[in-house]
Structure 1
Amino acid sequence: MDVNQHYRFTVPDRSFASLTKKDITRLAESFALSEAAVGKVNIIVSEMLTNLEKFSPEGGELLVKAIGKPIKGIEIICLDNGSGMSDPARMMEDGVSTYGSAGEGLGAIKRQSDVFDLYSYPQVGTVIVTQVYKSGSVPRLSSHRYEVGSVMVSKPKEVDCGDGFAVIHRENGVYLLALDGLGHGTNAKDVAQLGVKTFCDHPQSDPAEALRTIHGNIRRTRGAVGFVAFIDTYQHQLNYCGIGNIAGKMFSMEGGIGNVPYKSVISYNGILGHNVPGTFNNQQLEWSRNKILIVHSDGLKSRWDLNKYPNLQRHMATTIAAVLYKDHSRHTDDTLVLVCKAKI
Structure 2
Amino acid sequence: MSRVWEVPVHDSTRVRDARTAAQEACAQAGLTAPRTAAAELVATELATNLLRHAGGGRMVVNLVAPPAGAGTSVQLFSLDHGPGFADADTALRDGYSTAAGSLGAGLGSCLRSANAFHLYSLPGRGTVATARIDPEPRTRGSAQAPVPVGGITTALAQAEQCGDAWGWARSGGLVTLLLADGLGHGPKAAHASTAAVAELRRAAHLPPAEILRRLHVVLRPTRGAAVTVAQVDVDRAELSLAGVGNVSARVRSGDGWTSHVAHPGIVGAYFPAQVPVRRLPWRRDSLLVMHSDGLPSRWAPPEDTRLLAHDPSVVAGAILREAGSPARPARDDTSVAVLAPDRRTSPHDSRL
Q: Which band: TM-score by shorter chain?
A: 0.7 to 0.9
Give the equivalent residue in structure 2 for 1:257. Answer: none
CA, structure 1 residues 276+11, in 2 after alignment: closer, same or farther (shift >3 Å)? Answer: same
Write out aligned runs for 1:180-195 (5 A): 180-195=181-196
Give the equivalent residue in structure 1 for 2:280. Answer: 285
The letter of the residue matching 1:175 is T
Give the equivalent residue in structure 2 for 1:81. Answer: 81
Q: Deviation of residue 177 (structure 1)? A: 1.8
CA, structure 1 residues 96+153, in 2 after alignment: closer, same or farther (shift >3 Å)? Answer: same
| Cα distance in 2 between the residues matched to 1:201 and 1:270 | 23
Write out aligned runs for 1:7-86 (5 A): 7-29=5-27, 31-65=29-63, 67-68=65-66, 70-71=70-71, 73-86=73-86
Specify the SS of the correspondent of 2:189. helix
Give the equivalent residue in structure 2 for 1:318. Answer: 313
Give the equivalent residue in structure 2 for 1:327. Answer: 322
Aligned length: 335
Structure 2: gaps spanning 5 or more residues: 344-352
Give the equivalent residue in structure 2 for 1:100. Answer: 100
Specify the SS of the correspondent of 1:177. strand
CA, structure 1 residues 142+25, in 2 after alignment: closer, same or farther (shift >3 Å)? Answer: closer
Give the equivalent residue in structure 2 for 1:247. Answer: 248
Write out aligned runs for 1:218-257 (5 A): 218-252=219-253, 254=254
CA, structure 1 residues 26+179, in 2 after alignment: closer, same or farther (shift >3 Å)? Answer: closer
CA, structure 1 residues 198+122, in 2 after alignment: closer, same or farther (shift >3 Å)? Answer: same
The letter of the residue matching 2:195 is L
The letter of the residue matching 2:42 is I
The letter of the residue matching 1:215 is H
CA contact (8 A) 1:73 1:137 kept: no
1:302 aligns with 2:297: yes
CA contact (8 A) 2:170 2:204 kept: no
CA contact (8 A) 1:182 1:225 kept: yes
Give the equivalent residue in structure 1 for 2:263. Answer: 268
| Cα distance in 1 between the residues matched to 2:308 and 2:298 | 18
| Cα distance in 2 between the residues matched to 1:192 and 1:133 | 23
CA contact (8 A) 1:114 1:138 kept: no
Specify the SS of the correspondent of 2:148. strand
Write out aligned runs for 1:63-212 (5 A): 63-65=61-63, 67-68=65-66, 70-71=70-71, 73-101=73-101, 102-135=103-136, 141=143, 147-212=148-213
Deviates more, 1:199-208 or 1:41-50: 199-208
Specify the SS of the correspondent of 1:248. strand
CA, structure 1 residues 243+134, in 2 after alignment: closer, same or farther (shift >3 Å)? Answer: closer
Specify the SS of the correspondent of 2:157. coil
Q: Deviation of residue 202 (structure 1)? A: 3.3
| Cα distance in 1 between the residues matched to 2:179 and 2:30 | 29
Give the equivalent residue in structure 1 for 2:346. Answer: none
Q: TM-score, normalised on structure 1?
A: 0.86
Give the equivalent residue in structure 2 for 1:339. Answer: 338
Matched-pair identity in %: 27
| Cα distance in 1 between the residues matched to 2:302 and 2:136 | 39
| Cα distance in 2 between the residues matched to 1:175 and 1:75 | 20
| Cα distance in 2 between the residues matched to 1:109 and 1:239 | 37
Specify the SS of the correspondent of 1:245. coil
Deviates more, 1:305-314 or 1:295-304: 305-314
| Cα distance in 2 between the residues matched to 1:141 and 1:94 | 22
Q: Deviation of residue 323 (structure 1)? A: 1.2
Q: Deviation of residue 339 (structure 1)? A: 0.9
Q: Deviation of residue 181 (structure 1)? A: 0.8
CA, structure 1 residues 261+197, in 2 after alignment: closer, same or farther (shift >3 Å)? Answer: same
Deviates more, 1:150-159 or 1:232-241: 150-159
| Cα distance in 2 between the residues matched to 1:199 and 1:34 | 27
| Cα distance in 2 between the residues matched to 1:56 and 1:294 | 27
CA contact (8 A) 1:5 1:153 kept: no
| Cα distance in 2 between the residues matched to 1:239 and 1:64 | 27
The letter of the residue matching 1:59 is G
CA, structure 1 residues 22+187, in 2 after alignment: closer, same or farther (shift >3 Å)? Answer: closer
The letter of the residue matching 1:261 is G
| Cα distance in 2 between the residues matched to 1:143 and 1:96 | 28
| Cα distance in 1 between the residues matched to 2:278 and 2:27 | 45
CA, structure 1 residues 23+171, in 2 after alignment: closer, same or farther (shift >3 Å)? Answer: closer
Q: Deviation of residue 147 (structure 1)? A: 0.8
Structure 1: gaps spanning 5 or more residues: 255-259
The letter of the residue matching 2:18 is T
| Cα distance in 2 between the residues matched to 1:33 and 1:226 | 30
| Cα distance in 1 between the residues matched to 2:293 and 2:233 | 27
